[in-house]
Structure 1
Amino acid sequence: MPSRYVYVGMPEEVLFETESTHSRAEIAAYLRSVADRLDDDGSVSLRAGEESLEMQVPGNLTFEVKAERETSSGASADELSLEFELEWDEGADGGDARGGELSIE
């Protein structure tokens, strides 16, 4: 008899979301801009069309890096993704959540 697992986590509220196609150079510029804001005071402004959001990123937070392959059951090719996620508790200055040294080359 197969087992079924149901994940019940905290509800998620999407505060800002955008998705569009860009060149690698354009995406690198976006990432550099975020890195500069993190190096500065942690204030990050996100804007796309009429949508905008201001966030204050704390000094300590969790950094998740994930590479995935989404397999296709049809004739289309598999989809690969590389995700970078910054996560912290609202109102806190983050914790010391270290999962080993990360190297991105």
Structure 2
Amino acid sequence: MPEEVLFKSESRRSREEIAAYLRTVADSLDAGNAITLKRGDESTTLDPPARPTFEVKAEREGPADGPGELSVEFELEWDEDGGGEAADGELEIE
């Protein structure tokens, strides 16, 4: 299935700024509200269901014998038609 990017933003931010963005998302999820992503005159609003799939991924990209780029990704996924549910064990973040 082809992927359509609805919104993308990538920029260097302080840890505090990133935490503030994540808190805003967490507060919207807690309240059962939609999430609106905005940059300039571009915006996209998504309304996650009550139980979306939550994916956490830690990656290292680069050569096996040298320094690479590390990343951690947090992703919410759900079917537009509301179906489907996956479970993969209990997540813990310390």
Q: Decide: shared fold, TM above 0.5.
A: yes
- Does residue 1:103 correspond to 2:92, yes or no? yes
Which ranges of structure 2 fall in alignment gaps of 5 or more residues?
none
C-alpha RMSD over aligned residues: 1.7
**Structure 1 stretches lacking a partner, 5+ long:** 1-9
3, 8, 15: which one aligns with 1:17: 8
How many residues align? The count is 93
Q: How does 1:1-105 map to 2 (within 5 A)?
A: 10-72=1-63, 77-92=67-82, 95-105=84-94
State the alpha-carbon separation in 2 of the partners of residues 61 and 42 from structure 1.
Answer: 13
Output one character per residue of 1:32-91: Cα deviation in whole Å (capped at 9) or x when no partner. Answer: 100000001231010011210111110011111000000148x8x410000001000003
Aligned letter for 1:90?
Answer: E
Distance 1:42 1:87 in 2: 16
Q: Which has the larger radius of gyration?
A: 1
% identical equivalent positions = 60
- Which consecutive aligned stretches of 4+ in structure 1 deviate over 4 angstroms post-superposition? none
**How many angstroms apart in 2 are the aligned matches of 1:52 and 1:58?**
20
Partner SS for 1:52: strand
Scaled by the length of structure 1, the TM-score of the pair is: 0.81
Match for 1:17: what amino acid? K
Amino acid at match of 2:72: L
Q: How far off its partner does 1:97 sit?
A: 1.8
